[in-house]
Amino acid sequence: MSAFTLCAEDGNARAGNLLTSHGEVPTPAFMPVATQGSVKAVDSKDLQGIGTKIILGNAYHLYLRPGLGVISGMGGLHSFMGWDGPILTDSGGFQGFSLERLRSINEDGIRFKSHIDGSLHELTPESAILHQEGLGADIIMPLDVCVSASGTRDEVETALARTTRWAARCLQAHVCEDQALFGIVQGGLDLTLRKRAVLEITTLGFPGYAIGGLSVGESKAEMYETTGFVAGLLPQEVPRYLMGVGSPEDLVESVSRGIDMFDCVLPTRLARNGQLFIPTGRINLLSGSLKLADRPVQSDCDCYTCESFSSAYLHHLFKAKELLAYRLATIHNLRFVLRLMEEMRAAVAASVFQSYKEDFLGRWKPANEIVRREQKKKWIEAQMNNNRSDNSTN
Amino acid sequence: MSAFTLCAEDGNARAGNLLTSHGEVPTPAFMPVATQGSVKAVDSKDLQGIGTKIILGNAYHLYLRPGLGVISGMGGLHSFMGWDGPILTDSGGFQGFSLERLRSINEDGIRFKSHIDGSLHELTPESAILHQEGLGADIIMPLDVCVSASGTRDEVETALARTTRWAARCLQAHVCEDQALFGIVQGGLDLTLRKRAVLEITTLGFPGYAIGGLSVGESKAEMYETTGFVAGLLPQEVPRYLMGVGSPEDLVESVSRGIDMFDCVLPTRLARNGQLFIPTGRINLLSGSLKLADRPVQSDCDCYTCESFSSAYLHHLFKAKELLAYRLATIHNLRFVLRLMEEMRAAVAASVFQSYKEDFLGRWKPANEIVRREQKKKWIEAQMNNNRSDNSTN
């Protein structure tokens, strides 16, 4: 079950309410990522404390560990991890892309080697739905085929066509009415292919649409153009979810182009590296300039971390590699992003979104684009080579 | 300032109240260890939630990082780390023992190389007091000379005599009336030397006495004998603190011999290794037998972890190396130990301590003594060789 109510529009930006089997999600919404049944370094009480309305779980990771039998035996992912709000799970399609060296894809599905123990597994559109039914998420995603930004037109077109055929198989396999199955629009950076994808997927008909295949190595300009183009083609009355996107500037730019939902590991991963969001950009908690800073990281922030601790204490915890550092930093970065969503929603409702966007982006200094793309490329390569530690998967 | 009220006695076991500048501590009391300004993996709210009444900080570690200037500039250790209850700091004397390869000791004090950057430092009885005044703890400890369990009688006797001379210098240097300076009894496993130490230190006169130089490689039988012997010689009207002791069986055995206060990294270190206390001993959260265990770690435990999560979830978090694992496990082990202290206090007040002790030890299976001493030896050697990661110091 899911129902979406559009409450307000301002330009292309939207404010809505998404009703799920575990409660309502005000949109635009950001979903913290609980890859392995835990949003890294925080717990459900922390998530509630910072205003989290919905989280994302990863069916591929949970299928491999602890295994779906374990989680369904405990009554599903909600009760297993102690989170009783809405959950969206992704299907494993993205891992079919990011774990490229560990898999092969044919019309039937994706065969892959476990990144944990090398064991062989097959994921089909049907099993992806079955897995997510076992997890019991409120919103589930079909198995899709994702292509990197450097893919050829042929590769993108083939992936698109298969994504559509798999979407139809997923729809056929989907029986659980408590769960909303969204569609995914692929098509790379080619707007003709994106248009074809929208037509095919909306013809099948889903209660929500995701835009996949972005944030995979393209420039920000390309990502924004494609996002805006696809959002403009999607139906008004259902939610639009931009997968894997979550830097503050991307959230603002994408909401202004009509996106309602997001997920991304960036805020939590940056936090664990000591990179914290403030209104002017990022600060590095390891910077020596914070050693004596008897002030919160962000003086007007309402998060537990900023209300309770000085920058100097956080600097010390990171220097001393104290575990508490990662939790406090994660709380701040997630609160920063969730508050941004709340503020954008209020700005849409008050018909001042454009000036809110200009104010925010006027203060905000994004990470250097070249450095950013280099980092993204390295991260994707690390995923493909599978030479990362477990704790960097999120 | 500190004042101790003895509320009840049962055999040699005692229940009391220790009043400090930051509030009252019911005894027997266990102090979780915040080596570097953080009880590893938890925060002050977690500590309050499990009934922590007093914590221990480490002046040596905090002096090196972040530096005393940083902490006193933030208003002291209480406000720096966001803990407004009582704090006891130790002087660095134990690091003069455990970091043996990095230091030399003469009559003036201890010269040591920083385990962080190799820089040279000197700690004297006077500077140890000054450092702890800067940290602002409620109870502070004099600089003492600790000898391993394998030390010769000559070594122990020399250390004892120097500890007494240093105690007198500490008393002389101590001016801050908000802080209670305790005395430390050394003397190894030689009861004659312990008796001499008690006489010398009590003649100087302190508002509380610690027993040092135990839990440094001796057998449990030797530790219990020495503890009981020294406790029996100490004055009744002030608190008795057994330094560095904290396995559940040692806490019970030592309270039965007249000890009022304890500190130890064992509960928190074991927790981070997935070893959790239950009434019958320890369980290993990584054990495959817990994979499907839809029950809390300890069904009658009132900690947040046991009230919120299954053993299967904790097993999964440890397997997946999720950071949340370390916090949830730490909360449980600390609550186990703190509840044990509360129960012993109630048993003393109700004059049923002996039967409480027998019940507890009748159920409890301690870690194998040979394995335990081997582990302890390795840990001390690792400290001496300084080849440990920062996160294993606690």
Task: Write the pLDDT tens digit of every residue in B102-134.
Answer: 789 999 999 999 988 989 999 999 999 999 999
pLDDT digits (tens, 9 = 90+) for A140-161: 999 999 988 889 999 999 999 9
Binned at pLDDT 50, 70 and 90, residue A359 comes out as very high
A49 reaches B (C-beta below 8 A): no
- Helical axes A324-349 vs B323-349, angle rounded to 10°: 110
- Helical axes B323-349 vs B311-319, angle rounded to 10°: 130
Select the residue of A74, A322, A327 nearest B310 (Cβ to Cβ): A74
Least Cα separation, residue B80 to chain A (angstroms): 6
Contact list, A70 vs chain B (CB under 8 Å): 291-292, 312, 316
pLDDT given for residue A386 in this prediction: 52
A59 reaches B (C-beta below 8 A): no
> Is B320 in Cβ contact with A65 (below 8 Å)?
yes
Contact list, B288 vs chain A (CB under 8 Å): none
pLDDT digits (tens, 9 = 90+) for B249-301: 999 999 999 999 999 999 999 999 999 999 999 999 999 999 999 999 999 99
pLDDT given for residue B385 in this prediction: 63
Chain B, window 277-306: residues with a beta carbon less than 8 angstroms from a chain A beta carbon: 291-292, 294
Q: What is the pTM of this model?
A: 0.95
Instruction: Return mean pLDDT, chain B.
Output: 94
> Is B313 in Cβ contact with A81 (below 8 Å)?
yes
Selected residue with higher pLDDT from A99 and A145? A145
> Is B322 in Cβ contact with A82 (below 8 Å)?
no
> Is B324 in Cβ contact with A40 (below 8 Å)?
yes
> Is A294 in Cβ contact with B321 (below 8 Å)?
no
Under 8 Å between Cβ of A266 and A33: no
CA terminus-to-terminus distance, chain B:
28
Q: Which residues of B are catalytic?
A: 90, 263
pLDDT digits (tens, 9 = 90+) for A24-73: 999 999 999 999 999 999 999 999 999 999 999 999 999 999 999 999 99
Contact list, A36 vs chain B (CB under 8 Å): 316, 320, 322
- In Å, how far from its chain's centre is CA B274? 20
Q: Provide mean pLDDT across the span B233-246.
A: 97
pLDDT given for residue A384 in this prediction: 66
Nearest residue on chain A to B316, judged by CA atoms?
Answer: A66
> Is A323 in Cβ contact with B40 (below 8 Å)?
yes
pLDDT given for residue B381 in this prediction: 74
Nearest residue on chain B to A70, judged by CA atoms?
Answer: B292
Rounded to the nearest 10°, the torsion over CA B319, B320, B324, B325 is: 10
Nearest to B281 by CA among B227, B336, B244: B336
- Helical axes A248-255 vs A324-349, angle rounded to 10°: 20
CA distance to A253, A383, B266, B334, per residue, from A148 (Å): 22, 13, 49, 48
**Residue A388 pLDDT more than 50?**
no
**Which of B35, B36, B38 should be substituted to probe chain A, the one whose Cβ sees the most A Cβ atoms within 10 Å?**
B38
Q: CA B77, CA B55: separation in Å to the nearest integer? A: 11
> Is A320 in Cβ contact with B65 (below 8 Å)?
yes
Q: Which amino acid is at A115?
A: H
pLDDT given for residue B321 in this prediction: 97
Query: A2-10 and A13-20 as β-strands: parallel, antiparallel, unpaired?
Result: antiparallel
pLDDT digits (tens, 9 = 90+) for A216-225: 889 999 999 9
Nearest residue on chain A to B74, judged by CA atoms?
Answer: A294
Ordered domains of chain B (ranges, CATH): 2-263 (3.20.20.105), 271-369 (no CATH)
For the record, the structure tokens of B129 come out as: 């007091």
Q: Which residues of A are catalytic?
A: 90, 263
CA terminus-to-terminus distance, chain A:
28
pLDDT given for residue A387 in this prediction: 41
In this predicted structure, which of A141-155, A236-250, B90-104, B347-361 has the lowest mean pLDDT?
B90-104
Nearest residue on chain B to A311, judged by CA atoms?
Answer: B80
Chain A, window 323-342: residues with a beta carbon less than 8 angstroms from a chain B beta carbon: 323-324, 326-328
* Inter-chain Cβ pairs, chain A and chain B, closer than 8 A: 114
Q: Which residues, 6 or more positions from B251, have their beta carbon under 8 angstroms from its beta carbon?
A: B28, B30, B245, B262, B337, B340, B341, B344
Q: Which residues, 6 or more positions from B91, have their beta carbon under 8 angstroms from its beta carbon?
A: B59, B60, B123, B128, B129, B131, B132, B140, B141, B142, B143, B144
Q: Where are the beta strands (DSSP E) in chain B?
A: 2-10, 13-20, 23-27, 29-31, 33-34, 55-58, 87-90, 103-105, 110-113, 120-123, 139-140, 180-181, 183-185, 209-211, 240-242, 261-263, 275-278, 281-284
pLDDT given for residue B375 in this prediction: 78
Nearest to B123 by CA among B48, B218, B59: B59
Rounded to the nearest 10°, the torsion over CA A323, A327, A333, A336 is: -150
CA distance to A65, A218, A358, B50, per residue, from A221 (Å): 37, 8, 17, 51
Instruction: Return mean pLDDT, chain A.
Output: 94
**Residue A381 pLDDT more than 80?**
no
Binned at pLDDT 50, 70 and 90, residue A391 comes out as very low
Contact list, A311 vs chain B (CB under 8 Å): none
> Is A323 in Cβ contact with B41 (below 8 Å)?
yes
pLDDT given for residue A385 in this prediction: 63
Q: CA B189, CA B229: separation in Å to the nearest integer? A: 10
B322 reaches A (C-beta below 8 A): yes
Phi, psi of B214 (to 5 degrees): -115, 170
Half-sphere exposure (CA, 13 Å, Cβ side) for A316? 28
Share of chain A above pLDDT 70, in %: 97
- The H or E element that residue A9 is part of is strand A2-10
B374 reaches A (C-beta below 8 A): no
Phi, psi of B283 (to 5 degrees): -120, 155
Select the residue of A37, A73, A294 nearest B316 (Cβ to Cβ): A37
Nearest residue on chain B to A308, judged by CA atoms?
Answer: B82
